[in-house]
Structure 1
Amino acid sequence: MNDTKNSLLELRVTGMCCVEEVSMLKRELVPMLESEEQLRFDLLAGKLSVDMTSTDASPADMIAAVKRTGMKAEFWKDEKSAQQNASLWQRHQRSILTTLSGLMILVGLVLELVVWADAEQTPLLAIGFYLFAVLSGLVLVLPKAWRSLSALRPDMNLLMSVAVVGAMLIGEWFEAATVAFLFSLSLLLESWSIGRARRAISALMDLTPLIAHLRSEDGTVKDVDPATVAVGSVLMVRSGEKIPLDGHVIQGASAIDQSPITGESMPVEKTVDDKVFAGTINGDGLLTIETEKAAEDTTLARIIKMVDSASSNRAPSERWVEKFASIYTPVVMATAFAILVIPPLLFAGEWSEWLYRALVLLVIACPCALVISTPVSVVAALASAARHGVLIKGGGFVEVPASLRAVAMDKTGTLTHGQPKVMDVIPMGGHDSAKLLSLAGALEANSNHPLARAIVAEAESRGLKFDAADDLATIPGKGVAGTIEGEEYWLGSPRFLESHDLDNTDVRSHLETMQMKGRSVVLVGTGEHVCGILSLADTVRDETIEAIRSLHAVGIEHVVMLTGDNLGTANAIAAEAGIDEVHAELLPEDKVAAVEQLVAQYGQVAMIGDGVNDAPALARSSLGIAMGAAGTDAAIEIADVALMSDDLSKLPWLVQHSRRTLRIIRQNIGFSLGIKLLFVILTFFGFSSLWAAIAADMGTSFLVIANGLRLLRN
């Protein structure tokens, strides 16, 4: 680890698994820094990141500060390295201690109820086992409780410790041991739930291929580490293997399982020039691919980095729970003290009875279930979305889709495929469709213009054979001319008609019809007549119409198109897709202004785009959503959510997923507080006990965790 300033210090913190621990760490670390913003906590990974840019403290000072909280810090290592280097005790200490605590209670109970059944008081030997059970259950808790007490900032560790000590002071040894055991079991359950969510996300790491088959210029193939492969290298991918790096196919064809990256349920056919992603799985064919990105820049690598940092970006519900707990716990301590002293002093109550009730209140009021319920739900939601090919870049963005009222969309590459396609082939002058397309293909065979590529692709898809025209000449602003089988032909825009005096009523009628539909028009002709007309347009994605309908069905009030394209084309696409409002011929700054207007009108607005020109609008919206597969790096980096399959049908799913997440979070908070309120009432009237209170708290923790983990299901 580099100890120099102006760097990011990354620590693995053992024992940090709850917002209570985060609060303790903040109390120690923030005074050493300029602001709380220099700290990032990843509960999922047990990772603490500290911006050391403007502090005089050293990494050793930071580690020492963590130690003062009762937790342990060490320089960050990835999960696999940490597991390999950790001893059995380090990996399973909480499980071992909890099991030991439970066994000691069992032995103590047998001694008390069987061996010394007639004894009026708890036998000394049984007390020894109960005491051992208490120490086993609280050994990891007591340092945190002591730190909380010395800082005069009570937390759940202090609540439980006081309850256990108080129970022992009044001779309730069995109940003291039971509370310690069940609290330890609750923390173990909490740790397990975080671990399960962590494994769901870290499974992405297992997608990274370990070997790449690199083909050299002489044709030999050798196995290398994908991290050493340079951009532009040629790789062989055999049947059933994972694709090592992002690239495109230069030879072969196969069906690729892209579900790990895009969430698509069915394999996708890939052939020459098609893009492929690292981590996806080749089908039966042998593929030769040319790499386009280094290992650290692949789509898979970006997903792993984004997901790795996502859980440290906390949702509003998590922040609310943390603030609530910081107020709630001191209030509980004060209430318990009032229950202890007021009845005996004012109403001649028994001190022992009201001390017991105060201890019960401390146990049931422990906010453990409350504080763990939200982060588990949020992390499960992030993992589930990643499985579906929807990359949400942090807990802070999980809840936003639930409150969206309007959605703005770019046209090209978002609503449409982003590539023109031949829509109409209208032969004239005695030619048929095949002849017209062959002539157009020959004239455009060597052009890289998008319209030219679309014409050639259409001709080839119909099985037409043609050679490039001879004597090709470009006519600026109008088109091209060339010789085909000894005869001169031209191909160009409607402006070509003006210079060749070939305009007629029939041609003009077709042109007006196509232009009203927003299509680009290309004519082919000779010096004497027009051979025919081709119309081209960027086509609406297959899933767009249903996605727009579904967005309206889930409650999105207004769907708007924001495009730099001309109004005619925009209106045609909007009419086909079911868009409510169109803004065309926009520059990037115009898109930002349009989004600002929508935000002012509707409040919560999402912007969806794929290009560099969409990035400013993505940043200005309430929720920026990028088309991840075909989108530019700028759009993907600045967006809050990326659709890795470019599938717009994921949008209504995202809205419903967000609402389901919010619903589960609210269920957990309401259930946790409801159970506590019920037991507070029962405690005040003397109808509860220590073991029942901790059992209820642990049961509540289990139920809210299980409820949150439901989000991992498909």
Structure 2
Amino acid sequence: MNAELFRVGGIDCPSCAAGISRAVGQLPGVEAVAVDVLKGEVRVTVAQGGATRAALAQAITEAGHPVRADRPGATEARPRGPLRAAMLSGVLLGVGVGLGWLGQPEVLQVPVLAGAMIAGGWYVVPRGLKALRNRSPDMHALMTIAAAGAAVIGEWGEGASAMFLFAVALLLEQWAVGRARKAIGALMELAPAEALVIRLGGDQRVAVEAVKVGERIRVRPGERVALDGTITAGRSALNEAPITGEAIPADKGPGDAVYAGSINGHGALEVRTTRPASDTTLARILHAVEDAQASRAPVQALVDRFARVYTPLVVGLAVLVVLVPPVLGLGGFETWLYRGLTLLVIACPCALVISTPVTLVSALTGAARAGVLLKGGAQLEALARVTAIAFDKTGTLTEGRPELTDVIAVNHLGEDEVLRLAASVERHSEHPVARAITRAAERRQVALAGAEEFAALPGWGARATVADRRLIVGNRRLCDEVGACRDDVHALLDRLEQEGKTAILVADGREPLGVVAVADALRPTAAAAVAALRAAGIRRLVMLTGDGRTAADRVAQAVGVAEVRARLLPEEKLAAVRALQQEGEVVAVVGDGVNDAPALAAATVGIAMGAAGTHAALETADVALMGDDLTLLAPTIVRARRTLAIIRQNMALALGLKAVFLVLALLGQATLWMAVAADMGASLLVIANGLRALPAAGRPA
């Protein structure tokens, strides 16, 4: 199975996409054809031994759309021919109408109006004829038939007016769709095409694709970082807003990670690359945005199903209108032919079909610009319906980097020995608390012992054999389970938890050796983020944590969360999410993607934080906050709701105009040019309305 991608010119409406799909889909071995109107791309999946790339390109070209050779994201250069043809059509139409007003004979008017029709249809009729030959009638084909029919019955003025308006509307539609394309292309322009590589003979400009992992690059003040890497020399403040959405520049120095697309401040940096150009965080964001745009939201699938029924139905109605009334003696053939031609113009569902994707793509692109990655239209729809949000405490409401605060021995061992034993076990764990204990031992230069038979106990702690001791290092729950919690140990754990700390017991079997405690600072934005979510109408805000009740309540009170579920194992967090869902809530879970994977997976919407540094979160989460700023969450939910509202507005507008002119056409009150103006006007209106989901440059996304 091979996938071929083509950059194609002149795709500006869903009918264009349908024509390409039919033309290419007839070739041998073609499994699937996906046409992206807003990106101007055609992706074809072909079985082994099927049609060649050249044959696919020829089919696309024969469908009326030239295959382009430029790179993805490049702006399509618009030929001036259609503009000149539309202008000539308008001038000739004006002259023809003027001759009529002056009372000149038809022998003078008709050639001028015919010229206006020919000029307006110069780029329309060939595509319409190709569509008819391919048995895939689109708007161009319907307009060609309507104009020809108008000429046959002598309505030259109507035919010329309709063709001129259609030519102008196509130009306006191209411009409107081009705005959405530019927004998508702007994401691709965030990373430089070249990097300044440090070589033995001096610095050298090299295409980013040619830079190898491990090479050093230089980033000058004011430049964008070309590749992901680690700073080896220099200090600067980097604006990472293009990646994380965080507006405050981050101070960086040796050992710190930097991302492609970030903007360097006043310092010069040397960076050792850690990922190739194809695998940078920005590249993954772009791939995810492309996948999101290609995915189909439920509302979009509904619209497409309706459109597939609507067009044949209206075309069939137009045929009946032309044939049946004259046979029944209800009027002349020419009268009903004219009404049938008007119905043909109304039969194109362009406005309805394009109303959803242009809005979704604008919203997804705008969110990505703000540092929030939504995985697709379905996820955006689900986010708009969220009524309850569950936060995993560690790494979400807190910084996720706890520090050791206490080491307390409860028998004959000293504090350093308690810390040594605890760290000897915990250095094999990736849990944030375990890392805090290990870091503290390193700072105190405590020599660690080897550990055997290590086993992580998710939600409890860990166990291992160290220096012939069968050690357990874990929370109160584990302490009670093994019977190591004497009354004095319980009292000690209670005191530490009342101080807002996470207390960890160190025991040799059932004999308690000591207690270590860690504390994790609250995120500065946590309280503001919770308040914003409540203001956005989220009914229930819940905190899930494995910590003790006292410590959990202190954090919840500080950030403003009313419901707390404490001392939870990972599977119990999962059960808590399902319980909320059984109560009728649409649940989103916010976590760091490390210790809360089951709950994230069970949620209606899984939201991962800090995804810029965790590539796994980009792959698995429904929504990824690229940075650690929780305040981005409420605006994203509001954006999702606003996007669905715009889609509903567009559908009502498109269907409403169609319904009105369908009735007017049947009653003989709609002219051909009015139908064209209404149809193309509806397309332009829904595109313009959909672009409101894309924030204007310089405004917060």
Into which bin does the TM-score normalised by the smaller protein fall? 0.7 to 0.9
Q: Are 2:82 and 1:97 aligned?
A: yes
Offset at residue 15 of structure 1 (A): 3.6
Are the equivalent residues in 2 in contact too, given 1:190–1:372 (CA < 8 A)? no
Q: Within 2, Cα distance between the matches of 1:242 and 1:264?
A: 16
Distance 1:129 1:421, change over 3 A: farther
Which residue number in structure 2 is paired with residue 660 of structure 1? Answer: 642
Which moved further from structure 2: 633-642 or 102-111? 102-111
Q: Are 2:6 and 1:11 aligned?
A: yes
Offset at residue 241 of structure 1 (A): 1.7
1:174 to 157, 169, 177: 157
Are the equivalent residues in 1 in contact too, given 2:235–2:254 (CA < 8 A)? yes
Distance 1:219 1:353, change over 3 A: closer
Q: Within 2, Cα distance between the matches of 1:121 and 1:423?
A: 97
Q: Which amino acid in the other structure matches residue 515 of structure 1?
A: E
Deviations 1:643-673 (A, max 9, x none): 1122222222111101111111111111122
Q: How many residues align?
A: 652
Superposed counterparts of 1:159-558, under 5 Å: 159-215=142-198, 221-421=203-403, 511-516=493-498, 517-520=500-503, 535-558=517-540
Are the equivalent residues in 2 in contact too, given 1:422–1:535 (CA < 8 A)? yes
Q: Within 2, Cα distance between the matches of 1:127 and 1:42?
A: 41
Q: Are 2:57 and 1:23 aligned?
A: no
Helix, strand or coil at the partner of 1:207: coil
Helix, strand or coil at the partner of 1:419: coil
Are the equivalent residues in 1 in contact too, given 2:227–2:273 (CA < 8 A)? yes
Two-structure CA RMSD over aligned residues (Å): 4.4
Offset at residue 190 of structure 1 (A): 2.1
Which residue number in structure 1 is paired with residue 674 of structure 2? Answer: 692
Helix, strand or coil at the partner of 2:519: strand
Q: Which amino acid in the other structure matches residue 419 of structure 1?
A: R
Q: Which runs of 5+ in 1 are unaligned?
A: 1-5, 84-90, 427-435, 460-465, 481-491, 496-502, 524-531
Deviations 1:608-640 (A, max 9, x none): 333355556545543333224455322211223
Distance 1:518 1:707, change over 3 A: same
Which residue number in structure 1 is paired with residue 565 of structure 2? Answer: 582
Q: Within 1, Cα distance between the matches of 2:44 and 2:315?
A: 32
Which residue number in structure 2 is paired with residue 41 of structure 1? Answer: 35
Distance 1:520 1:474, change over 3 A: farther
Are the equivalent residues in 2 in contact too, given 1:405–1:602 (CA < 8 A)? no
Deviations 1:580-599 (A, max 9, x none): 35275434x66666555555
Distance 1:28 1:568, change over 3 A: farther
Q: What fraction of aligned residue pairs are identical, expressed as a percent?
A: 41
Are the equivalent residues in 2 in contact too, given 1:625–1:642 (CA < 8 A)? yes
Are the equivalent residues in 1 in contact too, given 2:151–2:159 (CA < 8 A)? yes
Are the equivalent residues in 1 in contact too, given 2:493–2:503 (CA < 8 A)? no
Distance 1:275 1:69, change over 3 A: same
Which residue number in structure 2 is paired with residue 120 of structure 1? Answer: 105
Which residue number in structure 2 is paired with residue 109 of structure 1? Answer: 94
Offset at residue 32 of structure 1 (A): 5.3
Are the equivalent residues in 2 in contact too, given 1:547–1:649 (CA < 8 A)? yes
Helix, strand or coil at the partner of 1:119: coil
Deviations 1:100-123 (A, max 9, x none): 133234235325634994433252
Helix, strand or coil at the partner of 2:318: helix
Are the equivalent residues in 2 in contact too, given 1:521–1:534 (CA < 8 A)? yes
Deviations 1:429-450 (A, max 9, x none): xxxxxxx99xx99x99xx9897
Q: Which amino acid in the other structure matches residue 134 of structure 1?
A: M
1:682 to 645, 651, 664: 664
Are the equivalent residues in 1 in contact too, given 2:73–2:188 (CA < 8 A)? no
Q: Which amino acid in the other structure matches residue 197 of structure 1?
A: A
Distance 1:384 1:604, change over 3 A: same
Q: Tell me the TM-score normalized by structure 2.
A: 0.80
Offset at residue 298 of structure 1 (A): 1.2
Are the equivalent residues in 2 in contact too, given 1:420–1:454 (CA < 8 A)? yes
Q: Within 1, Cα distance between the matches of 2:201 and 2:475?
A: 50
Q: Tell me the TM-score normalized by structure 1.
A: 0.78
Helix, strand or coil at the partner of 2:182: helix
Distance 1:173 1:204, change over 3 A: same
Are the equivalent residues in 2 in contact too, given 1:201–1:307 (CA < 8 A)? no
2:53 to 56, 59, 62: 59
Q: Within 2, Cα distance between the matches of 1:34 and 1:319?
A: 25
Q: Which amino acid in the other structure matches residue 152 of structure 2?
A: L
Deviations 1:366-413 (A, max 9, x none): 433222222221221122111211122333433221112333443332
Q: Which amino acid in the other structure matches residue 98 of structure 2?
A: L
Offset at residue 150 of structure 1 (A): 5.5
Which residue number in structure 2 is paired with residue 527 of structure 1? Answer: none
Distance 1:152 1:207, change over 3 A: closer
Are the equivalent residues in 2 in contact too, given 1:309–1:394 (CA < 8 A)? yes
Deviations 1:240-299 (A, max 9, x none): 121222233344332211121122223222234433211111111233333332222111
Distance 1:614 1:34, change over 3 A: farther
Distance 1:475 1:14, change over 3 A: closer
Distance 1:467 1:539, change over 3 A: closer
Helix, strand or coil at the partner of 1:539: coil
Q: Within 2, Cα distance between the matches of 1:234 and 1:151?
A: 55
Which moved further from structure 2: 675-684 or 704-713? 675-684
Are the equivalent residues in 1 in contact too, given 2:231–2:256 (CA < 8 A)? yes
Are the equivalent residues in 1 in contact too, given 2:225–2:259 (CA < 8 A)? yes
Helix, strand or coil at the partner of 1:178: helix
1:78 to 68, 71, 91: 71
Which moved further from structure 2: 543-552 or 506-515? 506-515
Q: Within 1, Cα distance between the matches of 2:598 and 2:51?
A: 38
Q: Within 1, Cα distance between the matches of 2:183 and 2:75?
A: 18
Q: Within 1, Cα distance between the matches of 2:545 and 2:536?
A: 25
Deviations 1:478-527 (A, max 9, x none): 9x9xxxxxxxxxxx9999xxxxxxx999999665311344524799xxxx
Which moved further from structure 2: 653-662 or 395-404? 395-404
Offset at residue 45 of structure 1 (A): 1.9
Are the equivalent residues in 1 in contact too, given 2:231–2:257 (CA < 8 A)? yes
Q: Within 1, Cα distance between the matches of 2:574 and 2:217?
A: 42
Q: Which amino acid in the other structure matches residue 96 of structure 1?
A: G
Helix, strand or coil at the partner of 1:540: coil
Which moved further from structure 2: 616-625 or 397-406? 616-625
Q: Within 2, Cα distance between the matches of 1:40 and 1:414?
A: 38
Distance 1:568 1:102, change over 3 A: same
Distance 1:334 1:222, change over 3 A: closer
Deviations 1:516-564 (A, max 9, x none): 44524799xxxxxxxx998522233222233233334333334444556
